[in-house]
Amino acid sequence: MAGPAARRQSVGVNVGGVMVGGGAPVVVQSMTNTDTADIDATVRQVMQLARAGSEIVRITVDRDESAAAVPIIRDRLASMGYDVPLVGDFHYIGHKLLTDHPACAEALAKYRINPGNVGFKAKRDTQFATLIEIANRYDKPVRIGVNWGSLDEELLTRLMDENAASDTPISAAAVQREAIIQSALLSAQRAEELGMGRDKILLSTKVSDVQHLIAVYQDLAARCDYALHLGLTEAGMGSKGIVASSAALGILLQQGIGDTIRISLTPEPGGDRTTEVKVAQELLQTMGFRQFLPVVAACPGCGRTTSTTFQTLAKDIQDHLNTSMPEWRERYPGVETLSVAVMGCIVNGPGESKHANIGISLPGTGETPAAPVFVDGQKVATLRGADVADQFKTMVADYIERKFGSGEQDAAE
Ligand code: SF4
């Protein structure tokens, strides 16, 4: 399948058994929004995220109670068969929490360190060193995660002053990007000086503006070979957050930049946290980098579809595929490569259906009430009657059994 022209070479990092970078497929990760000290709620949400397909889950570790909860959460997840790596998100007092809670340091698969929030002035160096020494002791990787909302002010001020005194000053935005990149690279260099291997270091440089994000990661990617975590920070809610994240990350991924991604969506109140995982998967899948779920191609409908039959069928089929996938993944290896088309009329219906593994072209307004079905490009049946949807679902199930069942599938093609 098509992908980026050339994937950027990065040093691979093993995060609790999940390879990030070094040529490994781009990894999907997410973050809980529960109070980590609330063990039940956090376990429940990590399970939801892992079931949705998050391959790494980050949790907040902000105080003693949450640090104490981490090993219990880890054990409880393991007892239920969830071995998804947990990443601890530390700000301000990470050095103290990891020192005071060795079981937390051991249970986590990676520590996220924000160089802008490690400490100030003289304390910054010693507290950063403590974090790295603990990571070295427990053989854990770290993500040095710079965020422009908490950028190292001393570094930014120094670069701004140098720029103001320069004969060829650059824009304030460019200075800010430089400060973000330098914060990440100088921290990584310091971590290496403290004995950390390059295969234990990931970097991220998150901003909330799409063009700045693209520029900052392009520059960072050209200046180092550390594995990179991509994310548009504070992406926002709903379609705005999805579009902004997809635009920014899609461009970078297409350029071969990025080893792991997170879509930082703000959920609706009471909304589903797993949406960020689904969006990340759909982004990678729609660009042809990875495959997670069978794809349903459906036309948008128009004046030729005055009934909702085909919308209902498209949704039915997509829901059926999504809910069946946990079981099918085991039973039908390669089923995630399946493509299904549900089309609204004769204009593009037969043509699009022929491109899918199995497709149906429903009758548009004024057409004969018959729905041709195509399998691997060939018309195999014409469905009629009120139960066309059920007939088609049965045909999809039969196709999956035939193509992906009993190890006879040729899904890797
Ligand atoms: S395939 Fe037919 S119903 Fe669907 S958008 Fe095209 S013309 Fe309209």
How many Å lie between the centroid of ligand 1 and the Cα of residue 8?
40
- CA 346 to ligand 1: nearest atom: 2
pLDDT digits over 302-319, tens only?
A: 888 877 777 888 888 888
* 96 Cβ contact list (under 8 Å, min separation 6): none
- The first and second tokens of residue 369, run together, are 């009430």
CA–CA separation, 187 and 125 (whole Å): 10
Domains of the chain (ranges, CATH numbers): 13-286 (3.20.20.20), 295-405 (3.30.413.10)
In b/e form, how buried is each residue of 341-375, taking b as 16+ CB within 10 angstroms? bbbbbbeebbebbbebbbbbbbbbeeeeeebbbbb
Task: Give the CA angle between residues 211, 213, 219 to the nearest 5°.
Answer: 105
Query: Is it the case that residue 145 has pLDDT exceeding 60?
Result: yes
- Predicted local confidence at residue 403, as pLDDT: 94
- Predicted local confidence at residue 4, as pLDDT: 62
Checking DSSP bridges between strand 56-60 and strand 86-90, what pairing results, if any?
parallel
Question: At 95, phi and psi to the nearest 5?
Answer: -60, -40
How many Å lie between the centroid of ligand 1 and the Cα of residue 336?
26
* 271 Cβ contact list (under 8 Å, min separation 6): none
Q: In what order do the strands lie in the sheet with 371-375?
A: 295-298, 339-343, 358-361, 371-375, 378-383
- Predicted local confidence at residue 409, as pLDDT: 47
Confidence of residue 2 (pLDDT cuts 50, 70, 90): low
Confidence of residue 153 (pLDDT cuts 50, 70, 90): confident
To the question of whether residue 336 is assigned a binding role by annotation, the answer is: no
Residue nearest to atom 7 of ligand 1 (CA): 347
Region 386-395 average pLDDT: 90
pLDDT digits over 239-262, tens only?
A: 999 999 999 999 999 999 999 999
Query: Is it the case that residue 412 has pLDDT exceeding 50?
Result: no
Residue nearest to atom 5 of ligand 1 (CA): 301
How many Å lie between the centroid of ligand 1 and the Cα of residue 314?
13
To the question of whether residue 345 is assigned a binding role by annotation, the answer is: yes
Query: Do 281 and 333 contact (CB within 8 A), yes or no?
Result: no
Query: Do 112 and 60 contact (CB within 8 A), yes or no?
Result: no
What does the longest C-alpha to C-alpha distance in the chain come to? Answer: 79
How many Å lie between the centroid of ligand 1 and the Cα of residue 301?
5
- Predicted local confidence at residue 234, as pLDDT: 81
Could you give the percent of the chain with pLDDT greater than 70? 97
Query: Is it the case that residue 3 has pLDDT exceeding 70?
Result: no
In b/e form, how buried is each residue of 218-248, taking b as 16+ CB within 10 angstroms? eebbeebebbbbbbbbbbbeeeebbebbbeb
To the question of whether residue 302 is assigned a binding role by annotation, the answer is: yes
- Predicted local confidence at residue 392, as pLDDT: 93
Average pLDDT of the chain to the nearest whole number: 92
Give the DSSP per-residue string, 270-287.
T--TTHHHHHHHHHHHHT
Kind and range of the H or E run holding 329: helix 309-331
pLDDT digits over 258-289, tens only?
A: 999 999 998 888 888 999 999 999 999 999 99
- Predicted local confidence at residue 407, as pLDDT: 52
Checking DSSP bridges between strand 371-375 and strand 27-31, what pairing results, if any?
unpaired
E strand spans, 209-253: 227-230, 236-237
**Residue with the two structure tokens 């049946």:** 381
Region 52-63 average pLDDT: 97
**Pocket around ligand 1 at a 6 A CB cut-off:** 299-302, 304-305, 343-345, 347-349, 364
- Predicted local confidence at residue 410, as pLDDT: 47
CA–CA separation, 342 and 372 (whole Å): 11
- Predicted local confidence at residue 411, as pLDDT: 42
**Residue with the two structure tokens 């057409």:** 367
Query: Is it the case that residue 375 has pLDDT exceeding 90?
Result: yes
Kind and range of the H or E run holding 219: helix 210-223
- Predicted local confidence at residue 283, as pLDDT: 96
Query: Is it the case that residue 326 has pLDDT exceeding 80?
Result: no
Distances (CA, A) of 196 to 13, 182, 259: 12, 18, 20
Nearest to 392 by CA among 377, 374, 409: 374
How many residues appear in the chain? 413
- Predicted local confidence at residue 5, as pLDDT: 61
Residue nearest to atom 2 of ligand 1 (CA): 345
Kind and range of the H or E run holding 381: strand 378-383
Confidence of residue 89 (pLDDT cuts 50, 70, 90): very high
Query: Do 234 and 264 contact (CB within 8 A), yes or no?
Result: yes
Region 321-337 average pLDDT: 87
